[in-house]
Amino acid sequence: MNVTSAPNAASRVQLTADGRLRHFLDIDGLPKALLTEILDTADSFRGVQDAQVKKVPLLRGRTVANLFFENSTRTRATFELAAKRLSADVLNLDIQTSSTAKGETLLDTLQNLEAMQADAFVVRHSDSGAAHFIASQVTPNVAIINAGDGRHAHPTQAMLDMLTIRRSKGAFENLKVAIIGDILHSRVARSQVLALNTLGAAEVRVIAPRTLMPVDVEDWRCRVFPRLEEGLQDVDVVIALRLQKERMDGALLPSESEFYRHYGLTQESLAWAHPEAIVMHPGPINRGVEIESAVADGPRAVILDQVTNGIAVRMAVLSMAVGGQTRDRARRG
């Protein structure tokens, strides 16, 4: 599977002819108005989650297939809940026992799923650009949602983080946001920086040891800080990232305890941020490695709100993308 050039095509393939969402592959190239529409739509779905019957009929009769080529618990579960709350039928493909594990090609698997009349594929893959490759291969009436691809992007995670920030802080324009930790391997960090800049955050900072900082980080439209104390000064939002140990090829850190000593988010280090700063983490949390339990469970943490908002954001993206495919088919008529 050749995916090396796929991410460059994201802005060209994600929208329908009338500018609506067709696929959701990456934040890059999407306009502020569309990101705001996703947030507004997700906000409207928050009410569904509080209702006695947590369902709306927007995707009744549609089928959403979850194609997780990489392990996940939180992302897969929230996508499944989101599709079911939209009244869609959900097909969870177990890749470990699927035909692809028995030698069938990815394209053959996709064609078989298309023959089952699936309307959307939610794709998580360890290869960067995999979702873009799949979007280039499927028939035009199937929406592709990127649930995380390699080190490249995790757009729905970024948008649920944006919804959490907006619900906590209101407008983005005056906010200073700091992202701490394994920036090098994090698809989340890349998507967060893009979303924050598009939505108009005043300042985006990344904080990490140099061994965990991408070589092209200077092109990210963010300020780079190698020291935690300087990077956290007066920020309004603090996002701690998980150490992506499964993606580390060499000894990029002396030890986890050494990382925690210099970059762990503790009550002491949080004091450098604004007194009303909120604390976020995309999960799963490694307590005592990236974040102190007293901070993760403290009054300034909105980590569980992120999980709740994840269902609403994924409902919004699924409803908009599948709806965009419907409108595009009607226009081609």
- 139-154, pLDDT tens digit by residue? 888 999 999 999 899 9
Class of domain 6-153+310-327 as given by CATH: alpha beta
> What is the helix (H) or strand (E) element at residue 166, kind and residue range?
helix 155-169
Q: Does the global pTM surpass 0.85?
A: yes
Is position 12 annotated in a ligand binding site?
no
Contact predicate 151/178, CB 8 Å: no
What's the confidence (pLDDT) of residue 149?
Answer: 94
What one-character DSSP code corresponds to residue 24?
A: B
Is position 192 annotated in a ligand binding site?
no
Is position 187 annotated in a ligand binding site?
yes
Is position 308 annotated in a ligand binding site?
no
Distances, alpha carbon 280 to alpha carbons 109, 233, 292, in Å: 37, 17, 12
Q: Residue 174 in 3-state DSSP?
A: coil
Is position 103 annotated in a ligand binding site?
no
The CATH number of 155-307 is 3.40.50.1370
Which of 263, 297, 262, 261 lies closest to 279, judged by CA? 297
Is position 140 annotated in a ligand binding site?
no
| Nearby residues of 212 by Cβ (< 8 Å), 6 or more positions away | 181, 182, 183, 184, 185, 252, 253
CATH 3.40.50.1370 segments of the chain: 6-153+310-327, 155-307
Q: Which residues of the chain have pLDDT under 50?
A: 1-9, 99, 247-248, 250-251, 330-333
- 198-222, pLDDT tens digit by residue? 999 999 999 999 999 999 998 999 9
| Nearby residues of 106 by Cβ (< 8 Å), 6 or more positions away | 1, 100, 134
Is position 75 annotated in a ligand binding site?
yes
What's the confidence (pLDDT) of residue 106?
Answer: 75
What's the confidence (pLDDT) of residue 3?
Answer: 39
Is position 152 annotated in a ligand binding site?
no
- Amino acid at position 170, single letter: G
